[in-house]
């Protein structure tokens, strides 16, 4: 592999040279970045996604409570109002809430939560609260924000059916829901490039067989297929194993569209003169694939992948919602939404639908980022 080594050495040396002159020596990725930055909506969406993922990564720290600790007295408590002005009309720089006083409706026996205006519970940053182990490693009880009184509970987005904090659970849910898309797409990416590449590069019979398999897979209705596969999962599997099983199930169909794209690009690129020129230069197959073909469509593939992530997120949400994906005690947005299945919820505790909002926002954000990347990924058409 001395050939590849020397090529790699030349490349890095060339790359170091590039730092000074701007547009004229701008590489493909620089051009893409410049164009992407001009797509305002995509940039904003990217910022949203970065925040979401940061929150998911530091869930234990960002979430004000432990997702499993419930408070019976706060079952289905609504969101608190965050206030700055107390009942006497005085302004407080530090926001506060009035804790709930639970009473029962004398006729329906339904719980009624009334704010106790005599008590002010101020919010604070870096407050002490439930103990946790960040990533199972770092022990701490400091949370990004919360009530200064560790005994009181801030109900930012309401409480669930057993009195667990919904905001906390949405944050923990993001961890699974957002990463399942990434991992699923990574798997699809791998399978898609492998089979699409084989199909496009070898052609002939291999191409034909792979294409027929893809068509068969795509002909299956997705939801019943997923249902069938997930029913096959043993219910006593631990959360992590179920999680990966679900990812594999979602990827069974996901890779086909990527394989098609890869195959099409392979075919188109093989016709490009610069690929023909490389063959005449004496470049071998591997060199042509890794130096000419893959770099030419990598940007495009990444854009496609970004657009594929929402499908994965929706897939997980849908499966979990109908009870075939992740199961409690695992927390994902789909699992949370399962609580909102009853019509009673819609009428009395609409905040239990809030995970939907996060699903929608993250999917839209992925779509906008994907659009931006797609527009930016072919800089040469506009230069």
Partner 1 sequence: MSGAGGVGQMEDRAIISVRNLVKYFPIETGFLRRQVGVVKAVDDVNFDLNEGETLALVGESGCGKTTTSHCIIQAQRPTAGHVLFRIGDSAPMDLTQMEKAELKAARRNIRMIYQDPYSSLNPRMTLLQIIGEPLVIHKMVESQEALRNKVAELLRLVRLDPSTMNRYPHAFSGGQRQRIAIARALSLSPKVVIADEAVSALDVSVQAQILNLLKELQNQLGLTYLFVAHNLAVVKYEADRVAVMYAGKIVEIGETEELYTNPRHPYTEALISAAPNPDPDTKNRARIVLAGEVADPGNLPPGCAFHPRCRYAEDRCRREIPQLVEVGGEEGPSHRAACHFASELELAGISGGAEEPERERA
Report the interface residues with partner 1, using CB under 8 A: 3, 6-7, 9-11, 13-14, 17-18, 21, 23-28, 31, 272-274, 276-283, 287, 292, 295-296, 379-380, 383
Q: How far is the CB of 380 from partner 1 (least distance, A)?
A: 5
Is 69 or 268 the residue whose CB approaches partner 1 more closely? Answer: 268
- Judged by CB, which is closer to partner 1: 91, or 380? 380
**CB 186, min distance to partner 1, A:** 23
Q: What is the dihedral of CA 54, 60, 65, 70, to 10 degrees?
A: 120
Smallest distance, partner 1 to C-beta of residue 9, A? 7
Of 15 and 110, nearer to partner 1 (C-beta) is 15
> Rounded to an integer, what distance in angstroms lies between the CA atom of residue 47 and that of residue 41?
10
Closest to partner 1 by CB, 213 or 294: 294
SS3 sequence of the chain: CHHHHHHHHHHHHHHHHCCCCCHHHCCHHHHHHHHHHCCHHHHHHHHHHHHHHHHHHCHHHHCCCCCCCCCHHHCCCCCCCCEEECCCCCEEEEEEECCEEEEECCCCCCEEEEECCCCCEEEEEEEEEEEEEECCCEEEEEEEEEECCCCCCCCCCCECCCCCEHHHHHHHHHHHHHHHHHHHHHHHHHHHHHHHHHHHHHCHHHHHHHHHHHHHHHHCCHHHHHHHHHHCCCCCCCHHHHHHHHHHHHHHHHHHHHHHHHHHHHHHHHCCHHHHHHHHHCCCHHHHHHHHHHHHHHHHHHHHHHHHHHHHHHHHHHHHHCCCCCCCCCCCHHHHHHHHHCHHHHHHCHHHHHHHHHHHHHHHHHHHHHHHHHHHCCHHHCC
Least CB distance to partner 1 at residue 306 (A): 20
Minimum Å gap between C-beta 195 and partner 1 is: 22
Return the residue matching tokens 């890869």. Answer: 262
Q: In angstroms, give the least distance from the CB of 18 to partner 1.
A: 6
Alpha-carbon distances, residue 6 vs 2, 280, 286, 294 (angstroms): 6, 20, 15, 19
Q: How far is CA 368 from CA 30, 40, 44, in A?
A: 20, 10, 9
Q: Which is nearer to partner 1, 139 or 273 (CB)?
A: 273
* Comparison of 106 and 381: residue with beta carbon closer to partner 1: 381
Residue with Cβ nearer partner 1 (10 or 209): 10
Least CB distance to partner 1 at residue 287 (A)? 7
Rounded least distance, CB 284 to partner 1, Å: 8
Count of residues for the chain? 383
Output 29 or 84, the one with its CB closest to partner 1. 29
> Which of 11/116 has CB closer to partner 1?
11
| Residue with Cβ nearer partner 1 (84 or 274) | 274
CB of 377 to partner 1, least distance (A): 12
Nearest CA among 288, 293, 281, 277 for reference residue 4 = 288
Supply the minimum distance, in Å, between the C-beta of residue 274 and partner 1: 4
């Amino acid at each position: 592999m001395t050939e590849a080594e020397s090529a790699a050495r030349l490349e890095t040396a060339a790359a170091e040279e590039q730092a000074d002159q701007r547009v004229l020596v701008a590489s493909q990725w620089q051009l893409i970045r410049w164009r992407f930055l001009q797509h305002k909506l995509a940039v904003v969406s990217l910022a949203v996604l970065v925040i979401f993922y940061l929150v998911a990564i530091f869930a234990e720290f960002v979430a004000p409570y432990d997702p499993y600790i419930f408070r019976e007295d706060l079952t289905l408590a609504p969101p608190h109002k965050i206030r700055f002005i107390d009942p006497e009309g005085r302004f407080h720089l530090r926001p506060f809430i009035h804790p709930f006083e639970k009473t029962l409706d004398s006729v329906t026996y339904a719980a009624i939560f009334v704010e106790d205006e005599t008590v002010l519970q101020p919010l604070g940053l870096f407050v002490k609260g439930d103990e946790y182990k960040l990533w199972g490693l770092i022990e701490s009880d400091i949370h990004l924000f919360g009530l200064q009184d560790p005994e009181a509970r801030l109900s930012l987005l309401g409480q669930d059916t057993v009195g667990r904090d919904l905001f906390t659970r949405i944050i923990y849910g993001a961890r699974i829901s957002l990463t399942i898309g990434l991992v699923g797409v990574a798997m699809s990416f791998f399978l898609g490039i492998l089979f699409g590449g084989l199909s496009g590069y070898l052609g002939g019979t291999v191409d034909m067989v792979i294409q027929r398999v893809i068509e068969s897979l795509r002909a299956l209705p997705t939801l019943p297929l997923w249902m069938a596969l997930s029913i096959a999962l043993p219910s006593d599997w631990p959360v992590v194993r179920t999680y990966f099983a679900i990812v594999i199930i979602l990827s069974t169909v996901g890779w086909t569209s990527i394989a098609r794209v890869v195959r099409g690009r392979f075919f188109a690129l093989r016709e490009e003169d610069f690929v023909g020129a490389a063959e005449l230069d004496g470049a071998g197959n591997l060199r042509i694939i890794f130096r000419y073909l893959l770099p030419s469509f990598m940007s495009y593939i990444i854009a496609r992948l970004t657009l594929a992530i929402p499908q994965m997120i929706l897939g997980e949400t849908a499966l979990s919602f109908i009870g075939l994906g992740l199961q409690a005690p695992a927390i994902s947005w789909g699992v949370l939404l399962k609580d909102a299945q009853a019509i009673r919820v819609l009428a009395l505790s609409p905040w239990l639908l809030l995970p939907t909002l996060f699903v929608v926002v993250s999917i839209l954000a992925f779509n906008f980022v994907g659009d931006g990347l797609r527009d930016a990924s072919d800089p040469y058409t506009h230069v």
